[in-house]
Structure 1
Amino acid sequence: MQTREEKFDRFKALHERDGAFVMPNPWDAGSARLLAHCGFEALATTSAGYAFSVGKRDSFAGLTREELLENARMIVDATGLPVSADLEDGFGSAPETCAETIRLACEAGLVGGSIEDATGDSEAPIFETAEAADRVRAAAEAAAGRSFLLTARAENFLWGRPDLADTIKRLQAFSEAGADVLYAPGLPGLEAIRTVCREVDKPVNVVMGLQGATYTVSELSDAGVRRISVGGSFARAALGALRRAAEEVLRNGTFTYAADAIPDREISQLMSAEKR
């Protein structure tokens, strides 16, 4: 098995290739092993997907830093792939708290993670730019020398602030503060994505699987995107399949859903196979 430092080198190199790579988001160790065996080159945790699996909405609705990092540790241990983590808002407004979160993430075996500028406060959902940049700077300083790729997220479009110019200014400030990757979830279209990629100087992550238009890996690569994640959408897809199976049994009294299920022997072999 590779060391954490070797995984970091692999992860960093993925961002330096031409075109975009897809980094899917498992929500537990089992889904991580399945995605690794599918052939993906890196994984990222999803706080939303994990929250769904334990009957909660998201970390703002009650998941603790300890819970999310323990889930991340199990995903790290499940495969030999580099793993980045959704670290939400850093689990506190103070820059020092964000820095501590990065240090703990490194101890959990993660080689990357994201800090967002959302506050969790519906009255003031986004940190002011200077404060948000200070938080990113503290996280970047904590990551320095620790083989950790820091992603900074500008959350305007997820919180009713569809201001592309401000989003770009935030991403530029985050880059100057030391972020390695930049991410603005919920951008309204391919032209906005292309504009963001053109106006910043670091690799850009784009999430697919949200509501609205979707684009191919090729289209996103042509727009300048380097990394594509899926957030909680794989977890929601799995829950959708579960609901369809349950509704078939309850409404029809039939069990045809089993035809699309992974055979027990196949999934057992996958879960016991050598890590990938």
Structure 2
Amino acid sequence: MFTPIHHYHCPACNSDKVEYALTAKDHTVSKDNFDIWHCNQCSIRFTQDVPGIDQIGPYYQSANYISHSNTKKGFINQLYHLVRNYTLGSKARLINKHSGKSTGRLLDIGAGVGAFAATMKLKGWHTTALEPDASARAEAKKEYGIDLLMPDILYSFEPHSFDVITLWHVLEHVHDLQGYWKIFNHILPVGGKLLIAVPNYTSGDAEHYGSIWAAYDVPRHLYHFSPASMAHLAGMHGFTVVATQPMWFDSFYVSMLSEQYQHGATRYLSAFWQGLKSNLAAISNPNKCSSVIYILQKN
């Protein structure tokens, strides 16, 4: 058992205009149910009664948790690796475009097994990468020969230490949400870029699957972002959203997992159709995509 964290105010904007939204199941590890609440002020959602940072570790202990294990077991995970090999290059190009630099000082928070950090090192960026999970750090050393640091070092960086900070599907896992945003502001110079990729609960696939939507991923996902909530949170901490970028592949990946959770087996045709519908709705508005990359600039 653990001591749950219960929020009476919104963890993002501190409003007391919060209410129950839905209940989601942890399909990956515990099979336990967790309530998700909604903030009527900033529109963020958050998982209620989650384990604290010192107690949540067991909920990540699964051979199927790909960002830590790097597993290629099963079709969905094989597909994940194929897509990742493509997206690593697109992320690097996105950083070069929005930072205006071909090299610089980059901090990658929540590096997983280190694939992105290794890519940026090869492209000449001075890359520092942080990862709390010991097995993921070991995999990064084995696979890429890079040393990932514990996230605690984040609190000791000097002002203006980095040109770019990246969090690829990480911010939704961070217990110290406000503290991290203060650090982002502290260690970036004015004009420095912050790239945050998170699932979008206002997407078409999220609407279709409801509480079964795999990207709720309770209790590992502590927060569930909308574009409006990200812009609100950024503004509170001295950042402006200057661009958004859709993550087109995520709708298919999340739909496949959602189908698996819903039916006990992946219905690939149905998953493809739901992912495609979600993406078609997002063509004219990237903020409707299953996952969104927010490019933020320090004011």
TM-score normalised according to structure 1 size: 0.34
Please state which structure has a larger fraction of its residues in helix: 1
TM-score normalised according to structure 2 size: 0.32
Please state which structure has a larger fraction of its residues in strand: 2
Which structure is higher in RCO with an 8 Å CA cutoff and minimum separation 6? 1
